[in-house]
Structure formats: C-alpha cells, structure tokens
Structure 1
Amino acid sequence: MTEGESAPQVDSTATATSDSSAAPVPTEVRAHEIHHGDAPAHHLKEQDSIGRLTPRPTFMEHLVESRDAMFHLDRRDSSELERYFHGPREMDKHSKWPTFMRMHGSVMPKMILPLLTVAAWSTFITLFSKKVHYIGVNNILLTVLGFVVGLALSFRSSTAYERWADGRKYWAQLIQISRNLSRTIWVNTGERQGEEGKVDLLRKITAMNLILAFAVALKHKLRFEPDIAYEDLAGLVGHMDTFARDAHDNERLHPPAKSFRKAIGEYLGVSFAESNPRKLIKRSKKPLGHLPLEILNHLSAYIDSCVSNGTLVSGLHQSQAIGMMASFNEVLTGTERVLDTPLPTAYVIAISQIAWIYVIVLPFQLIAVLDWVTIPASIVAAYIILGLATIGSEIENPFGQDVNDLPLDTYCRQIALELDIMTSSPPPKVDDFMSRPDNLVLFPLSQNGYPEWKDRSVEDIRAALKAKVIANPAPAPSDASTVVETLSFKAPKSSV
C-alpha cells in the first residue's frame, strides 16, 4: 500500500460460511473455528432458511471493497504531490515534458540536503581563500581522483541496475507462468457431468484465484508486509489454513502515524529518519510461515486431485502443470535472492566515502582556476556525482514503493485482468469457432468462409494456397477480388 493510504479494516466477527464462493477474512477467532464454520454464536448474525450460517454484512462489503481495491490500490487517499514523488510509477501515464525537466522519478528531493551542504562548504572555502589565506591545490588531483570515482560509480550503478533488471525478469517470468498454468487449468482440465461438474468448475476458479494469490502474496513478502488481511489478498487466501493467517495482527495494519519530522526526513532521504523495513516481521509474536510457498502447496494438491479424479488425463499436460509449479518456485527463490543479496556493505561504504571525499576536496582544486565560479561549479559536480550514487542506492531494491521501483501492483492487476478474461467464457470448442461462416480461412485471397471451402476439393484448397504466394494480393478487398477472378478455380466466380 502506498503511503497515506488507509489500511483495510478487518472485521473480527467474520467467520466461515458453507458457501464455497465466499472466502473468510482472517479474524481473531481460532483458526479451526474459521475453517470448519463452528464459530461461537455471537460471531454470527443468523441462520438462513436451510440452516446455513450467514456472516455479518460487513464481511461481504469487505470482499467487494477488496476487489475494487485491487484496481485502485495506489490511487486513493493521497494527494497529487505525494503520488508525484512516491511510487511505484503508473505505467499508463505519459508525460510530454522534456526528459531533463521531469521531476517524477527524479532523485532531486533526496539531493536537496547534500547540495545545500556542498554549497555551504564551497562557499566557506572560497571566502576563506579570498579573505584569509589561499588554500588552493594543484588541479592534477582532479584527474587522479576523477578516474577512481568514475570506476566506483560505474560499479555501483551496474550492480544496482543488474538487480533491478533481474527483478523485472523474474516478474516477467511469473506473468508468463501464470498465463500458461491458468490456460492448462481452464482449457485442458475437464469437467465431469452433473453436480461433479459444478464442483470441478468451482475448483478451477479457486485454482485460478490461487495463481493470482501467489503473485500478490509474493509482492507483499518482497515488501516485508507479513500479514494477509491486505485489501488485495484477504479474499484470495483467507479460506486457507496458513501460518500468516494464524499470525494475523490488526496492529500491523494500523501502524502509528508518522511524525512530521520523520515524514520530511524520509522524503529528503535522511538516513536517520528511515525505518527498518523488516520491523513488522521482527515484531511478530507468532510464526509467519511462508505464504507464497504455502499457496504453491495448495496448488500442487489441486493438480494431484485433478490427476486422481481423471479431469487432467493427458500426461503432457500433467507434466506441464508440475513443471510450472517448479517454475513458480524458481521465481520465488530468484526474487528472494535479489532481495536478500545486496551489494556488500564494505563496497557501499567505500563508494559513498570516495564520492564524498571527491566532492569535499573539489573546491580546493577549482579555486585557482574558477575563482568565485567555484561555488556553482562544485554544486553542479556534486549533483552529478552524488546523483549517480543516489540512483544506485534507490534501485538496488527493485521491489519497494519508490517511483523507480518495479510497479508490482500493476503486474498483479495485469495477472488479475488476464485471468478474468480467460474465465469469462467456457473453454473454446474447436467446432464452435472453426466452422463459422465468418472464418475466412484464405483471407485476403478469398472472402469465402469455412463452409464454402469445405465443399471444395483438396486440390482446390492447395491451389488457392499456392496462389496466395504467386499472386501476393494487396490487402484491400477490391484488389483481392480482382486477383481471385483471374484464377481458374472449379468453383463459380460469384462464390469467391
């Protein structure tokens, strides 16, 4: 969740219902009570006409809000200025400003204090040299130190971008696996007749939700958000017995408001104001488990059940499904590697010290040549050198909430939208779309549909295929008709 966005309210009275379409939200009720639907009476509103336990209306409202929140997660309860300097960026927005004038994604806010420090320091050195005693040095030091600083910044930038690119590759792989596995489940997994077919359909939908849940849970894990009652996750995994569900704590969803000084400090990049991102995990009073891994366990159990009940009969599809589960685990391990293997601390400290030493000694070298221009020249040089170092520090962890971090919320919404598109209609049947009259099998050579060409001989079809290469008709229908009329097919010209 972006800064300034209110955390979701979790109804502590919500419990399970026998309707499989409603997933319970994590509550303070004991885990076995939520799972089996035998919570005490005071947690329930009433029983319906067939004796089912009906949850309070706030539970369903929470699910509706959770669904809406998936598509508006980073657009609510925050000012335009805050969204401008905080991220991740929105991929669908386009700026017409020249690149050098853009502020969205710039590290300028974090450069304000360093540049002010350099300005004050260079001013002091210049005034001291002019009014008290000349303290300039030979500028040959610029060449020697500049080479070392260039190597250090190049190493810092390349390693940070490598981590950023690796994070994007793993999420691209996650999207690809989600598409393949969802297609295998929705299209290649059959549905039995009668009531068993209804069960198969509901299980397929649940499995599709678990594919999305894996991506969302991975996003929260990479951002050190250990709970499951987030708006985009609660309705997907609330029905499963997991460690994260048992360790649910409302206090993690309602952290104390930041003081004005702390908020300003974080905005300006002051290290003393930054909080430990793992503090919520360290403060947990119960084992948090590993939610993405537990989701994979449930998905694997579903694949095994499909093999056992005969709805996934093809050995090839079975192997593909099992292989994609292993690929999911590969993505999980890879993203954890990127997150937990930053640049060694010794390198980080040394590169930072080298950059600052160069900036500090710069006025001593420029005073002899530039005179009063030393002050703006030092500020410009500091912006270039410290700016590159700051960029390397910002993109080192590509899974956070900064503007330059990967837009994980956008990736999760993309997976959700694609799964909705896939499940919006039954698996296609070949006869339903192949034999339609508007299936122009030889377009643009011929405007005839599948039924007309089905009545012709194989020789006519192959001759038409050859004619497509020889004639190379233009895409315009009128030109295609003219070309076709010059060909000698057995069918009447009026039918072509």
Structure 2
Amino acid sequence: MIVKATPSLKQIVREVWRPLMILFVWDVLVTVAYYRPSFSAPELPLTLFGSVLALFLGFRSNSAYQRWWEARSLWGLMINASRSLARGVRNFMPDPAAAPLKREIVRRQIAYVNALRCQLRRQAMDEDIGRFIEDPVQDPALGRVNVANGLLDGTGRRIADVRAKGWIDSIQQTQIEAVLVDIANAQGGMERIKNTPLPVHYRFFPTLFTHLFCILLPFGLVETLGLATPLGSTVAGLMFLAVLAIGDDLAEPFDNRVHDLPLSAMCRTIEIDLLEAIGDAPRPPLQADKYGVLW
C-alpha cells in the first residue's frame, strides 16, 4: 500500500507511460488522417458516451473500494482479536506452571496470522511461520490444506488442555473461545473476498467501454482541437483509464501489489504486540520502501 500522500514520480511514470504512448500514437494517426481531403470525421455524441461511462466507472470503483475497505476492517478485527487472545491467556493463567503453554499459545497466534497472510497472497509458507511454532516438523497443522485454520484448531485444543488441567475455569475458557470465534469469522470474511472476485460484468464491460471510448475520442475532438487533438484527447482518455485502473487496483486487496493491503506490516504489528505481552523482544516495525510502499 502506498502510504505517501502522493506516489513517487517514477512510480507514476512506470504505471502510465504505456497507455499514454498508445493513446498518443492513435490520436496522432487520427489527426493526420483528418487533414487528408478524403477524410470526414463522424459526428459522435461523446458527451453522452462520456457521461454514461463516468457513471459506470464510478459505480465500479465504489464497489471495488467497498471490497478493499471490508478487507482492511477484517484485518483490523484480526489485530484486535490477537491482542485480546494474548491478554486473556496472560491474565487468566497466572500459575507459573502454565508459563510454557501460555507462551506457546501466544506465539502460535503469530504463526497463524503469517500463515493466513501467505494463503491470501497465494504464496508458499515462509520462515515467519516455523519460527513461532514449537515443533514445525511434527505439527500436523502445517500438513493441512488450510494451514491457518489448522493452527487455529491447534490453539483451541491447547485451550481445552489448559481447562482440563484446571488453570482456567469454564467461564474463562468460554471467553477465550469467543475470541477464537472472532478470529475464525475474520478469516472466513477474508477468504470470501479472496475467493469471490467481482462479477465478470463488472470487470469486462468497463474495460471494453473505456477502451472503445478512447478509440472514438479523437474523432469527436479533431474538428474542435485540430492539431492539438493528440494532446487533448490523450489527457482526456487518460482520465478515464485512470478511473478504470483504480477499480482494478482496489478490487483484489490481497494480491501483494503496491495498492493492496500491507499484510506483512500488519502481521509484524501483531508480532510486536504479542511478543511484548509475554515479555519477549520483538523485531522493529516494517517501514515503507523508497517508493513509499508499505508491504
């Protein structure tokens, strides 16, 4: 996610130079053809086309932003629930004999959020998972299709073991289980967003109509702008392509691109808070790179 108020000039150029060049070349060709005696520019209702297209793109961008914001809200819930789990485990189990198991549960939650991050980004499980599991080779959760859910199930079993040993009572167990339910619900919401893309009509038709509008745009402007048509048509077309790109960037918030959610940074936030809760020294927070992107 870009965290600067404005993206870097290099980042902007890298994203827009290709469509800019294509638009400009097409507009130059239309302008050159206009000054041939045999050419007659068709009369097109560009104002009507542009108004309808702007409404269409605005509705699509709003739908994409709703997905992005829901994903961010679910990760906010995950951060808060992880803190609540660590606080409950720490406060409900003051017995010194419970210290190893309490530490294991908290560190397991850190492994869980990192496993969820990898699953949402469709990445292989990385070292940040095995680092916080007591026995990563023997842990059955790492062999499951849904590793994150396996880790959460293992945490639930350990809470049950704590109750069986008498370190917490049934009311405390119920409170901790309620936190685990919140975590599972947040994971389910994230998986729903990841596995349910925008309907194909939301993705195909805005792209088709925007490109078609950019093709027709110089025909409608050349009689008014003349030799300035390549500049005016390119800038106008770029505005519509920018709105189209905004929808594309926000529609998939877990794809590990520059505009997506900074899952790595949020997992590090959880790691810092939970390790400090059990008295361990955490790693420093992740910082944005030189382009102002926080991953």
User: Normalising by the residue count of structure 2, what TM-score does the alignment of the two structures yield?
Assistant: 0.88
**Structure 1 residue 137: Cα displacement:** 2.8
Q: How do 1:263-342 residues align onto structure 2 when only pairs under 5 Å count?
A: 289-313=145-169, 315=171, 317-342=172-197
Q: How do 1:61-100 residues align onto structure 2 when only pairs under 5 Å count?
A: 88-89=1-2, 99=6
Q: Are the counterparts in 2 of residues 339 and 397 from structure 1 also a CA contact under 8 Å?
A: yes
**Structure 1 residue 132: Cα displacement:** 4.1
Q: How do 1:4-43 residues align onto structure 2 when only pairs under 5 Å count?
A: none
Greater C-alpha radius of gyration: 1
Q: Tell me the equivalent position of 2:216.
A: 361
Q: Bigger shift: 128-137 or 336-345?
A: 128-137
Quick one: structure 1 residues 104 and 332, their matched pair in 2 at CA, closer, same or farther if it must change by over 3 Å? farther
**Structure 1 residue 239: Cα displacement:** 4.7
* Residue in structure 2 matching 1:380, options 217, 223, 235: 235
**Structure 1 residue 320: Cα displacement:** 1.4
Quick one: structure 1 residues 345 and 289, their matched pair in 2 at CA, closer, same or farther if it must change by over 3 Å? same
Q: Tell me the equivalent position of 1:131.
A: 36
**Structure 1 residue 166: Cα displacement:** 0.7
The CA deviation string for residues 95-127 of structure 1, in whole angstroms up to 9 with x for no partner, is 7xxx4x743764x42322222111111100110
The CA deviation string for residues 346-402 of structure 1, in whole angstroms up to 9 with x for no partner, is 331111011011111000100111111111011101211011101211121111221
* Residue in structure 2 matching 1:414, options 256, 260, 269: 269
Q: Are the counterparts in 2 of residues 136 and 366 from structure 1 also a CA contact under 8 Å?
A: no
The CA deviation string for residues 404-463 of structure 1, in whole angstroms up to 9 with x for no partner, is 1111111011111111221118xxxxxxxxxxxxxxxxxxxxxxxxxxxxxxxxxxxxxx
The CA deviation string for residues 32-84 of structure 1, in whole angstroms up to 9 with x for no partner, is xxxxxxxxxxxxxxxxxxxxxxxxxxxxxxxxxxxxxxxxxxxxxxxxxxxxx
**Structure 1 residue 240: Cα displacement:** 4.5
Cα RMSD for the two superposed structures: 1.9
Quick one: structure 1 residues 155 and 105, their matched pair in 2 at CA, closer, same or farther if it must change by over 3 Å? farther
CA distance in 2, matches of 1:376, 1:304: 69
In the alignment, structure 1 residue 103 sits paired with structure 2 residue 9: yes
Matched letter for residue 181 of structure 2: A
CA distance in 2, matches of 1:303, 1:105: 48
Quick one: structure 1 residues 422 and 104, their matched pair in 2 at CA, closer, same or farther if it must change by over 3 Å? farther
SS in 2 for 1:368: helix
Matched letter for residue 168 of structure 1: R
Matched letter for residue 9 of structure 2: M
Q: Are the counterparts in 2 of residues 104 and 403 from structure 1 also a CA contact under 8 Å?
A: no
Q: How do 1:111-130 residues align onto structure 2 when only pairs under 5 Å count?
A: 111-130=16-35
The CA deviation string for residues 142-162 of structure 1, in whole angstroms up to 9 with x for no partner, is 111012111211122111111
Higher percent of residues as helix:
2
CA distance in 1, matches of 2:167, 2:113: 26
* Residue in structure 1 matching 2:201, options 346, 358, 362: 346
Gap regions ≥5 residues in structure 2: 281-295
Matched letter for residue 132 of structure 2: L
Matched letter for residue 189 of structure 1: M
Q: Are the counterparts in 2 of residues 242 and 291 from structure 1 also a CA contact under 8 Å?
A: no
Quick one: structure 1 residues 104 and 187, their matched pair in 2 at CA, closer, same or farther if it must change by over 3 Å? farther
CA distance in 2, matches of 1:115, 1:332: 40
Q: Are the counterparts in 2 of residues 135 and 364 from structure 1 also a CA contact under 8 Å?
A: no
Q: Are the counterparts in 1 of residues 156 and 177 from structure 2 also a CA contact under 8 Å?
A: yes
Q: Are the counterparts in 2 of residues 118 and 382 from structure 1 also a CA contact under 8 Å?
A: yes
| Matched length | 278
**Structure 1 residue 295: Cα displacement:** 0.5
